[in-house]
Amino acid sequence: MNERDSNALAADLLKRGYELTDNENAADILLFNTCSVREQAELKAVGKIGILKKLKKKKPDIFIGVLGCMAQRRGNELLKELPHLDFVIGTDQLERLPDILEKEIIKREQISLTEENSEMPSTLTEHIIKTNGVSEFIAIMRGCDMYCSYCIVPYVRGREKSRPIPEVVDEVNKLADRGIKEIMLLGQNVSAFGLNQNTKVRPLESPFADLLTEINKINEIKRIRFISPHPFFFNDKLINTIVEHFPKICNNIHLPLQSGSDRILKSMNRRYNINMYMDVVNKLKSKIPDITFSTDVIVAFPGETEDDFNNTRRVMNDVGFDNAYIFKYSPRAGTPASKYEDQICQQLKEERNQILLKDLTERTTKHNKAMEGRVFEILIEGESSRNAQKWSGRTSNNKVAVFDHNPNLRIGDIVNVHIDRSTSMTLFGSIISS
Ligand code: 5AD
Ligand code: SF4
């Protein structure tokens, strides 16, 4: 989401005559879009901004601003801690960045802008598309009402707010006109898109499924992906819509698990148990060929026993995730879990993290091996990052495939590739037809 916001803000500033630079010593304005989900991310950002004190001393005319979650969480306090900072703009006020810059240019003073806004911003819709860009993110909703007990997001991104379907479709159409082939729909809880406080209690409908159906109608878009759905809202309507629109809706679903233990899920306030989670997985597996799942998992949540952890290991194996973001639990001030007893020591966090990472590599290697000798559709993304002589793209289930360049084909085409060999990270193949 931050990457998407940064892109939209940069596109907005470009339109207003600003220029982008990737050389921080040449910049007149330095902006940091920050994440607060884990403490480490905040520490890194504060460290980096702290180092800029020297640059600001040398070049007092530059502006330094902090945007996003950490700005929202710490506001004025951040301006005090880092007096060389000019402004902080929280998550609900990002679209005011151009105004703030103008204000700063006229009258330099420290500004903190962190009010909540219950409306979805309507201006963060611009896109800077890389040359030959194939894939783009679209933010369809913001905020989160789930209050998982470990998570800071509901406090820093505020209440859930969804965009109207026609507005999203319009943005997709504009991207399609600019040559984009793949859309990644973004939100903290995309499967609750468009639901209100009443419909959310027992969600029988799925406005998110309706959105998928509308985007499915746009011919130039070849692939649709989304992150992240919450399993609680993954109802039959949504499952059937995904099945109906496969393969345009890709057969890799990112479904955050967080833990494989019912006891821990309860303590995390996740609103599902492993039976409910597996029900979604099994329904999708039974209906979509070669479907794969990826996930987010937290290790060493307060009170996680060896048994709980082994349950997570087992469920991860049962689902067969071949990609997973594995996080060590990080206590966030203001969240219920940060006050729970039985916080787990760093060493155990590290050990459990390593065990899951090792399982994951073994599983992925095995899955990729099983893809050898078969043919998959690959969306061509461009030159391979490791070898400019080769091209690379992705399978529908989101695996990177590298193959020989063919002058008849263009970036953005979908080709059939025979997989010859693989590693845990990459498939290597040959084009058999276009
Ligand atoms: N500690 C560790 N991981 C966290 N996440 C959210 N909050 C925390 C926390 N306090 C993880 C969850 C979520 C992902 C975006 O970040 O797994 O799905
Ligand atoms: Fe955080 Fe995701 Fe839970 Fe929302 S659903 S509180 S963003 S972990």
Q: In the chain, pLDDT over 70 holds for what percent of residues?
A: 99
Please state at what angle helix 236-245 crosses helix 274-287, rounded to 10 degrees: 20
Distance of CA 381 to the CA centre of its chain: 19
185's tokens = 């729909």
pLDDT, tens only, 176-198: 999 999 999 999 999 999 998 77
- Cα-to-centroid distance, 371 and ligand 2 (Å): 33
Q: In the chain, what is the greatest distance between 2 CA atoms, to the nearest angstrom?
A: 65
* Residue 4: CB atoms within 10 Å: 17
> What is d(CA 98, CA 89) in angstroms, rounded to the nearest whole number?
11
> What is d(CA 321, CA 255) in angstroms, rounded to the nearest whole number?
10
Sheet holding 111-113, edge to edge: 29-34, 63-68, 87-89, 111-113
Looking at all shown ligands, the one closest to residue 326's CA atom is 1
**Closest to 241 in 3D by CA, of 267, 198, 274, 208:** 208
Please, which residues have CB within 8 angstroms of residue 196's CB and are 6 or more apart in sequence? none
Lining residues, ligand 2, CB within 6 Å? 144, 146-148, 151, 153-154, 188-189, 230
Sheet holding 252-254, edge to edge: 252-254, 292-299, 323-328
For the ranges 96-110, 194-208, 344-358, the lowest mean pLDDT is seen at: 194-208
> What is d(CA 95, CA 9) in angstroms, rounded to the nearest whole number?
7
Instruction: Measure the CA dihedral 324/328/334/340, to 10°.
Output: 120
Q: Which of 38, 73, 147 to mutate to test the pocket of ligand 1 (most atoms within 8 A of CB)?
A: 38
- What SS3 state is found at 383? strand
- Cα-to-centroid distance, 189 and ligand 2 (Å): 7
- Cα-to-centroid distance, 1 and ligand 1 (Å): 14
DSSP 103-146: HHHHS---EEE----SSPPSSTT--PPPTT--EEEEE-EE----
pLDDT, tens only, 290-327: 999 999 999 999 999 999 999 999 999 999 998 999 99
92: left (phi over 0), alpha (psi -120 to 50) or beta: alpha
Domains and CATH numbers, the chain: 2-113 (3.40.50.12160), 135-370 (3.80.30.20), 375-433 (2.40.50.140)
> What is d(CA 317, CA 214) in angstroms, rounded to the nearest whole number?
35
> What is d(CA 219, CA 152) in angstroms, rounded to the nearest whole number?
39
pLDDT, tens only, 51-78: 999 999 999 999 999 999 999 999 999 9
- Cα-to-centroid distance, 377 and ligand 1 (Å): 33
Cα end-to-end distance, the chain, whole Å: 34
Q: What is the pTM of this model?
A: 0.95
The whole-number pLDDT of residue 122 equals 74
pLDDT, tens only, 239-260: 999 999 999 999 999 999 999 9
The type of residue at 253 is I
The whole-number pLDDT of residue 434 equals 54
Distance of CA 234 to the CA centre of its chain: 18
Which of 122-126's residues contact partners 24+ apart within 8 Å by CB, and which partners? Answer: 122/167, 123/12, 123/95, 124/5, 124/8, 124/9, 124/12, 124/94, 124/95, 125/8, 125/167, 125/171, 126/8, 126/11, 126/12, 126/15
What number does the ligand 1 atom closest to the CA of 297 have?
Answer: 17
